[in-house]
A and B are shown apart, each in its own frame.
Chain A
């Protein structure tokens, strides 16, 4: 008798806790009552330090809006959280192109109210009409990038003009690549004159085999801080993301940059507003703020990504004008990496795994 009494007591206590916690939503939820005149909050969700602190500080002081800046590491995490909150909780999300396309297809992205973003016209048209937002209704480009080849001319003996030069025997055990399956396979496809996104399985197989031939040259495979290997001298040539290129050049101006002749890969991180953002007006105000000419320059000079804001070009420091502005001829040559369907994707994965195994 005593045992069952105790058992039920525990059960009731647990039920009480669960019920009282679920009632929390009302009092502690996002939609707190705002006092009249209170500018409210803004929830930004992106990689850490991607939005520079001085930009946030200036936004806060100019508008009085309180900014909450939380982070995610991988785009897929962001998507998982966005799906769980059904498009709510966050106001501004900055993520990569392909994931925005998926989010938009799931209906989690809000259409921008251009009237609240007068600075929208500042965007360089070269960075618009991309595959994930063909009508420019959903996003504002934030961090466009092109992976490039960088090498140390004092050590490298062969001439590097494009991706194909990386296969040269003189670069044996002297190359750093990014640990990114589609980018590296894509580069190999380009050397064969194919598109990043071909779904022809035979072509992909040929590229996979060609990639295996590159394995002896590769010393390092790294996703982040790859430029450190180049700067420390551990490798003499590297295939780097834009921010890594700029960081490398700023610390060693002797390094040479090559725009591969076979064609450029393109990636854009863009800002969007989730469909049920709690502070949508503040979000629009923020987008307008970062599209201001001066702000755009300040952002690009700290994130080390290309500057998509035409009005910012005049504000960029001299040293950055070269690396952060892209010429319009380069872009049409550029291609995005896009989803290629399940068979091609698993073939890519197969070769990538083999390639990585061959590196040791």
Chain B
């Protein structure tokens, strides 16, 4: 019994190391004096200073965050409604509809990107934030949908029915009973959608316009001119913010548990 536990601990540690060592290297090299990301020459905060002055990088970051927020928000609403709706419908074509709704993440991104580009051009939409949001929301919805659907399976239908028995309207039943129960799944879906949107390069390149640059495009296309440790500095800051947010939410969650209202 003891031996088995020890092995699983070792396995976990190795796995975590494999996942996090590259990230640690990125963080450490953001403090590297040399421009070269493979040789260490000394400690320096220069890259952080340069990052703060790099207007185009910061603007791309701003665009990406706005885009990811709007997309994951819209996807959250659409995905949740879709999952809740699908749970009650017993159509024969239900399976097909579900399959179609998960197509955006199964199709290769490049095809999706080109299709969006052609479609938006046909509609004469101005390429820019509008088209970016449309494109991103589309591939974000399946993530939320799948998460909420899975969560709904675990919820007792009789709870909603009981609410209606007691006189609640359809809408009241949803907002007061169902939604709070599936809220964790909605949030995880939205968080995943946020990460996917922030990360997306291919679709963004195809549907962006002349005035909107997103962060992944900016970083990826910098490879030709040479990536500088400013990118490492940016990644470190983003990681710091992420850890801060996660830490804060756990703290708040812990406080809520202690003092239930």
Contact = CB atoms under 8 A, between A and B. Distances in A.
Contact of A70 (B55, B212, B224): B212
Interface residues of A, number: 41
Contact of A243 (B212, B221, B222, B225): B225
Interface in B92-135: 114, 117-118, 121, 123-128, 130
Interface stretch (A77-85, A147-155, A188-196, A326-334): A77-85
Given A21-B123, A224-B223, A71 B218 contact: yes
A208 to B, nearest CB: 28
Interface in A22-57: 22, 24-25, 28-30, 41, 43, 45, 47-50, 53
A77 B35 CA distance: 29
Could you tell me the dominant secondary structure of chain A's interface residues?
mixed
B125 A24 contact: yes
Contacts of B127: 85, 89
Contacts of A73: 201, 205, 217, 220-221, 223-224
A21 B125 CA distance: 7
B227 A225 contact: yes
Nearest to B208: A70
Given A18-B123, A81-B117, A232-B39, A247 B226 contact: yes
Given A22-B124, A24-B125, A70-B208, A47 B222 contact: yes
A323 B34 CA distance: 21
A70 B211 contact: yes
B221 A48 contact: yes
B221 A71 contact: yes
Interface string B19-51: 000000000000000111111000000000000
Contact of A68 (B114, B201, B211): B211
B56 A53 contact: yes
B218 A24 contact: no
Contact of A303 (B208, B221, B225): B225
Contact of A43 (B39, B125, B210): B210
B126 A243 contact: no
A69 B38 CA distance: 29
Contact of B224 (A25, A50, A68, A69): A50
Contacts of B38: 228, 231-232
Nearest to B220: A73
Nearest to A88: B210
A80 B128 contact: no
A89 to B, nearest CB: 5
Given A21-B125, A22-B123, A43-B211, A72 B226 contact: no
B137 interface: no
Given A25-B124, A29-B126, A231-B36, A70 B225 contact: no
B54 interface: yes
A89 B130 contact: no
Interface string B199-221: 00100011011111100011111
A90 interface: yes
Contacts of B118: 84
Contact of A225 (B212, B219, B226): B226
Contact of B130 (A24, A50, A72, A80): A24
Interface string B218-256: 111111111100000000000000000000000000000
A83 to B, nearest CB: 10
A69 B56 contact: yes
A251 interface: yes
Contacts of B219: 48
Contacts of B124: 22, 25
Interface in A221-259: 223-225, 228, 231-232, 243, 247, 251
B116 to A, nearest CB: 11
B121 A49 contact: no
A224 B223 CA distance: 6
Contacts of A25: 124-126
Contacts of B213: 69-71
Which of A49, A53, A72, A303 neighbours the largest number of chain B CB atoms within 10 Å of its CB? A49
A68 B121 CA distance: 21
Given A21-B130, A231-B39, A243 B210 contact: no
A72 B211 contact: no
Q: Which of B35, B201, B224 has the most CB of A within 10 A?
A: B224
3 closest A-B pairs by CB: A43-B210, A71-B221, A48-B222
Given A70-B208, A84-B117, 7 more contacts: A22-B124, A47-B221, A72-B221, A91-B210, A225-B227, A243-B224, A304-B226
Interface of B: 34-39, 54-56, 114, 117-118, 121, 123-128, 130, 201, 205-206, 208-213, 217-227
20 contacts: A21-B123, A21-B130, A24-B126, A28-B126, A28-B128, A30-B126, A43-B211, A48-B219, A48-B221, A49-B225, A49-B226, A53-B54, A69-B213, A72-B205, A73-B217, A73-B223, A77-B206, A84-B117, A89-B127, A225-B226
